[in-house]
Structure formats: C-alpha cells, structure tokens
Chains A and B, each alone.
Chain A
C-alpha cells in the first residue's frame, strides 16, 4: 500500500537534518557519512483526542456563517487537520510549525545529540488558523498571517498568552492571507511583505507596521506563494493563479519581469485540472491550474516552482541584475509533486505516490558543481527512502484514501469565480 504523502519538508542549511510532515506527525532525520537515520518524531496528540470529526464541528460552531465553507471543501479549508509551515530559525536551533488542531504555532528545541531531537517548548494557539509564518532577523519574532487576513506577531521566547489575551494584529488585509516574508533592505530597514487571495502584495514597515510602504500591483489572480532570494535583497518572486511567475524589485516597487509558463505546463495537465462542474462551459473543457509554491536557490541564481497536481518542477534562471527569468530545466517525476523546499542549492520534493501507485516519496534535486545543472540525486534518494520506509512502518496508515488526500490539492480553490453578483 502506498504511504500517505509527506505534506511538507524543511532542511537545515548543510543538509544534515531534515524534517518532514506526515499528517499530524513531524519526522526528523539525520544524515551522517551519507547514511540517514531517524532522529526524532513528534505527533500532535490533540488530533487524537479531538478526532477529525470534532475538528470539523469545532470549525462550524465558532465561525458561524462560515459553516458552509467548513462543510464543503471550498476556499482553502482545513478539511483535514494537519501540521504546516515547517520553518527553522536562522540559527537552526529551533523548529517552528503550525498545528491545525488548535490553530497554534509550535516551537521545538532541536537537540542534535538527543535520539529524540524535537522537544516542544511552546504551543501558542491563535483565534484564526495561521496560513503562513515568517521569522524576523532577530531570530525571536514570528509574524503569523491568518486565514482571515490579519498578521499577529509572537516572540519565540515569550510567555504563552491565554485566549483573549492575544495581541492586536500588527497589520491586516480584508482577504485571506496566503504568504508572508520578513525582509530587510540594504539600509537595514525592515519590512513585512504579505500576499492575499485578491491580487495584492502589500509591503509594510516593521516594526512600524502601521506605515504601509507600498503595494506591488500586477497580479490578475490570487497569489499563493512568494520568496526573496538571499543573494539579492531587493528581489521578490511571486506566483499563484496567474499564468506567469512575477519578478519584482520590491524596494523600488517595480515589476522586473514575468515568466509565462502556460505553454510549457500544458503537457503536464490532466483531467484533475478540469474546473469543477459549476465553473464549466458547455464543452466541459475549462481547465484551471495554479502555482502552489515558488522557492529560490540559496546560492545559484535560480528559482523553482511547481504547478499543483503536476509531475514536475520547473527551474528558472534569474539574471541577478535585471531580474529577468528564463527557462533552465523541467525536472519530471513519476508522481504529482506535493511540496517543494530548498536548502543549500538542493531542492527537496515530496510526491504523492497515489497518483502513480509507485515510486519514492521524497526526491532530492541537487546542483551539479561542474555543469551548474540540477539533477535528481538518485543515490541520496535511495538511501533516504530506506530510512523513511523504516520510520513510516510505525506510522498509522489509516485513511490514506482519495478524499483524505484532498487537502494536498487545494491551492486552486483560492481562485475567485465572482460568486456574488449583488
């Protein structure tokens, strides 16, 4: 039987520690002398006491009118509860994650020498589900962007706040937030960059978040993902429901270039990309697709992205001076890509093997020093898969059926169809 796919991953910068999520469990792996071994495991037990059924009910009662959305898998709903947004602090001493169960931010201390390397040191629930998080350059501030458009901040080291004691939001949109970045310009000024389900990217000063610096206008559809490369502090890439990846000089507020991927992605689209019945035309051939994630490479001047429910990632060359984007490579896999992350010029791709019935769950795409090209690192994938298989043997595999997989493919649900005419 195929295993449930790994929903997200993060690795430390030298690639020796890797964290992955399967449903409500975080798995940690250590790499030593080319071999991987499991280094820890943490399961959110709130998921077990609050069964999924209860979780959905809870969504109903405290959201009132949003009941319909919780009932039917509509707009980015938390239909199945998960752990999301794995992020390492800049000094890599802590792992941050978000739990759907109680809409909390989790802080783990990483003890590299302990066989169970993850120690939960803080669990801070929020009134609304965190959709994206970013860590400030002080390594202690986390900015949390929620489903209802607000951004809250918390301190990793501070006390847990009781419900009702929560801080005021530091900024907000009247729209679902989809991503957040804490950035710094060359003069040392700090900013918070937020993207939403409407077409907005907003740049606010930090900590003076009440001063909006600017908006970046140009997207015609929702934005799902943004990233700033470490090798150029004024560059920003963004993508979502549009046919293009956008490159910006966010400091100047100018759009530098667009890379239209609609042609190259066509061969990878399937029936899964046909629009839902209610958005179909008479010919029943309306297709809908969106970029789920865009990430930049740490050193190489390159960004990678994938389109939801396709079996490839696309790598683009970035001209660091002009920000122009050109196709570098398309890397294909046997199954749909579920998540994409990067560390030290290596892309970590997790796959939904249900879509193909076989293959590996995780692929490492590494940059070859001599050619500068990216290739699947087969030996690494194979050694890792062994360690992963051993770790997953102990995991509860119930309910990895098709409806359970739904939340893996909900980026496109952010698309607006203008449901309200009045």
Chain B
C-alpha cells in the first residue's frame, strides 16, 4: 500500500503544524494588524519554520493550476494585502504596487526591501502554494512583532503564475522595479521556453514597467545569466545598465544577499551573476 505524504497524514507533525498555521493565517491574513490588535494577544509570534512548508522544487508554468487572479487589474482588491495603505474614507488605496519580486520564493528579498522603501508597495509573486503560505505566515509574524513601528505593512505575497497572469494584476506602466532572483534554470534545451525571461515575455514585462523602470536579474547559473542578458539586450525596450550603476544601486546589494537562494549560494561559495536593464522609452509607433 502506498503511504500518504507526511503533509497529508493527520498523525504527522507537519500536518498538525500546517493546520495550526492555516487557522492562524485565515484569521490574520486580511486583517489590519496594528498595535491594538496585537496588544490583545500576548507574546510574540514565532516566525514560520521552512521545513514544514516543503514542496516539490518545480512547478510547470504551462499547466493549468487552480489559481485565483482578478479578471483585470481594476478588479484587484489590494486593500486586503496592504490594509495600512487603504483609505477608509475614500475607499481607495493610497499607494499602488510599484515593486514586484517575480518568483519570490521564501520572501527574503521583500523583507529586506521593506524598510528601504517605506513609501512603496512591494509584491512577491510565487507559484508554489506551500512556499506562498510560508511567506504569508512570515509577513503576519513580522507585522505582529513590529506592530508598534508599523513595520512590514508595505510587503505582501500572492500565489500566481507570473508568466501568464501579470497583466491581470498590473496596469500599463505601473511598476518601477521587477526582480528576477535566482529563477529556475530549466537546463534542458527543450525546456527553455519555460524560462521566466524570453523575448516574448519581455514584451509583457515592458508593458507593466514604466519607462525608466528597472529589471533586476541575478543567478548562480552562468548559462542562464548569458541567456537572460542575451534576451534582454536583444529586446528593443530594454537597455543594460552599467557596472558602476550596479555598484551604486542599493537594490543590487540587497538582492545579492537577501534572498534564501542567494544565501544558499553564499554558503556554497558559488558565483553570483548580476545584470540590470532599464525599460527605455517606447519608440514612436510606425
């Protein structure tokens, strides 16, 4: 007889942990966490433990997942993700998302970007359910533990397939920065179309990026680095930023060290290849 995976076996520790966290998440995911709401509960919230959120490493971006996404950017309710930036009186968001971390994994980049860009909303998009749950739980804990200084109110995560549904979330020219940190390499030739940077997808990224916006890429796979650089250089709407620009940009140094994947590479003393591109002005339509 086949045994159930641990995550589905009601006797397992992982199962119990997941159920507990899920209840907590359901309760807190969309509420405004502030000093008052936290004061009623006592004690600090533990940060979630990654080992309980394990999931297969790869998710096929072509497949037809059970996903939730708005029918159009106008129908997206951002107030639930960033309640502190929702104006009760006008019923409108005071800010819109301008920074996106595509395939954010466990969310380390957002956690470090949050205090650097207190006035900008940052969104992580991640296709794997358990990993997204982890990031949600992490943000709930961070918001609760930093309620006094209203920390981490400007970051959140969405489960979604960024290769298919980005335009459902963002208007034309809405984003100023897009991060692609340690994307899945899809080594085999015939899997290259599954890569998150291709010349056809870049046109969609260029659509959601404003003119002057920046695409950040970092990887430890040299071949993938060359692939991304080649495709971005070939694309008429992107232009490479210089090494000296990279050295001065604070996001580049955060991106090198903040993400979980980046830390793993650091421990193994692997190389990290960085390339940043500016979204140039849209040329005159012929």
Contacts and interface: CB of A to CB of B under 8 A. Distances in A.
Interface of A: 64, 148-150, 168-169, 171-175, 189, 198-200, 204-205, 207-212, 214-215, 217-218, 220, 416-422
Contact of A422 (B59, B73, B190): B59
A416 B62 CA distance: 12
A251 B207 CA distance: 17
Contacts of B282: 211
B1 interface: no
Given A174-B61, A205-B285, A422 B203 contact: no
B225 interface: no
Contacts of A218: 71-72
Contacts of B63: 419-420
Contacts, number: 84
A217 B69 CA distance: 12
B200 A171 contact: yes
A422 B55 contact: yes
B257 interface: no
B200 A172 contact: yes
Contact of A64 (B129, B190, B206): B190
- Judged by DSSP, the binding face of A is loop
Interface residues of B, number: 41
Contacts of B72: 215, 217-218
A420 B283 contact: no
B192 to A, nearest CB: 12
B199 interface: yes
B200 A211 contact: no
B144 to A, nearest CB: 28
Interface stretch (B24-32, B160-168, B212-220, B245-253): B160-168
A416 B203 contact: no
Nearest to B55: A422
B64 interface: yes
Interface in B198-236: 198-204, 206-207, 235-236
Nearest to B71: A217
Q: Which of A149, A207, A210, A211 has the most CB of B within 10 A?
A: A210
Contact of A211 (B193, B198, B285): B285
18 contacts: A64-B190, A149-B200, A150-B200, A169-B200, A173-B164, A174-B61, A174-B161, A174-B163, A175-B62, A189-B285, A198-B164, A198-B165, A205-B285, A209-B203, A211-B283, A416-B64, A418-B66, A420-B65
